[in-house]
Structure 1
Amino acid sequence: MEEEIHNDNQVKSKQRVTDHGEVFTAQREVNAMLDLVKQETERIDSRFLEPACGTGNFLVEILKRKLAVVEQRYAKSQIEYERYAILAISSIYGVDILQDNVQTCRDRLLGIFTHYYQKNYKSLKSDFLRSAEFILSKNILWGDALDLRTPDENADPIVFSEWSAVNGSMISPINGNQFPCN
């Protein structure tokens, strides 16, 4: 059984550190580093890739910053808010070698996304939230960022989708294009 370690939640267990080098970045460092590129974190469409995303410490903070801008600019119109919130979440990408981290990261991002949405609107559109969940399933991937492949017996290449507005409001992969991470 793994021995649990509690050090500002930077380590889940000694075994995970030994096996995978897993150490989480503390919130103070996340904010300090993101403040170095503050203008980009506040651009709704600015793309971010976290090649060792863990449970999403960086990606969660990036999404919060983007959604704060969406809220500030577009909260008066639910349709406009939804359009730009989807644009914000579709520009965030992550890879992690541990499947449980990938799922936790997706869940955390969807939780933040849903929280901001519920905070602004009483009527929540389930299709909107399902769209965000689908985008996260394509943007936060299980893989090894060192060899750009999935760490299973298939060793498939890591491939991301690039998203674009369709008819001014819906987002979909550009011409079905997917791009290998290389």
Structure 2
Amino acid sequence: MKAYGEVFTPRHMVDRMLDLVAEELETGEGFVDKTFLEPAAGDGNFLVAILQRKLRAIEQRIEPALWPRESLFALASIYGIELLEDNYADAKIAMLTEFLDFHRGHGTPCSTRTNLHRAAAFLIDTNIVSGNALTGLDSGGDEIEFSWWSRVPAVPGGVLREPFTFRSLREEAMFDFGVHAAYAVCPIDRVHEEVRAQ
């Protein structure tokens, strides 16, 4: 769309760019949790390529019993902002489709009734935002808000959700965690239940 200067990066260029950060995506320590933000997500071509690489690395480096859990942590590490509503919707669908196809390909139950599906859809809805990265505002005119998903070492598969504004990341170079709703630690496959801290 010319009015917005919309340009889609070809897949071969996406792959070449991601090759530059292959260690963070696929081979380095803690690769599952390495965070990526695409501030002009388009229809999700970068987001999906990042997820594909992380899932492939999980498949190669982590025992199969942990793939559902680790794939959710991989999803939790990928963020996007997109201005145009049609692209925003396409990006979210593409991410969920990629995630579910991975699990279907391995025979893991992931129907809409499973926690795996529900948690994945929730993480995608939370991490991919309709808004403008230049103004820092979402499609409703409010500040873009993301959540940081921290592993809880004492709770295998446990995650702590800590909301923060995109503005705090851009302008203050630190997260403004303390001014937002607090959530209880929960298993990552139950993040969709949104249990608030007491």
TM-score range, shorter chain: 0.7 to 0.9
Moved more, 80-89 or 114-123: 114-123
Aligned residues: 159
Residue 74 and residue 97 in structure 1: after superposition, are their counterparts in 2 closer, same or farther (change >3 A)?
A: same
CA distance in 2, matches of 1:21, 1:75: 44
What's the Cα RMSD here? 1.5
CA distance in 2, matches of 1:105, 1:94: 9
- TM-superposed CA distance for 1:75, in Å, is 4.8
- TM-superposed CA distance for 1:120, in Å, is 1.1
Identity of aligned residues (%): 38
Q: Does the 8 Å contact 1:75/1:120 carry over to 2?
A: no
- Quote the residue 2:174 is aligned against: none
- Quote the residue 1:139 is aligned against: 127
- Quote the residue 2:37 is aligned against: 49
Residue identity matched to 1:147 = T
Residue 148 and residue 69 in structure 1: after superposition, are their counterparts in 2 closer, same or farther (change >3 A)?
A: same
CA distance in 2, matches of 1:135, 1:109: 10
Residue 94 of structure 2 aligns to a residue in which SS?
helix
1:157 aligned onto 2:157: no
- TM-score, normalising length: structure 2: 0.76
- Quote the residue 2:56 is aligned against: 68
Residue identity matched to 1:57 = N
1:1-182 paired onto structure 2 within 5 Å? 16-17=1-2, 19-42=3-26, 43-77=31-65, 80-124=66-110, 126-152=114-140, 155-166=141-152, 167-173=155-161, 177-182=162-167
CA distance in 2, matches of 1:122, 1:159: 32
- TM-superposed CA distance for 1:130, in Å, is 0.8
CA distance in 2, matches of 1:61, 1:93: 13
Residue 114 and residue 33 in structure 1: after superposition, are their counterparts in 2 closer, same or farther (change >3 A)?
A: same
- TM-superposed CA distance for 1:123, in Å, is 3.3
Moved more, 162-171 or 80-89: 162-171
- TM-score, normalising length: structure 1: 0.82
Residue identity matched to 1:140 = I
Residue identity matched to 1:117 = H
CA distance in 1, matches of 2:124, 2:7: 23
Residue 116 of structure 2 aligns to a residue in which SS?
helix
Deviations 1:40-92 (A, max 9, x none): 12221110000000011111100000000111223531xx1111101100000
Residue identity matched to 2:159 = I
Residue identity matched to 1:91 = S
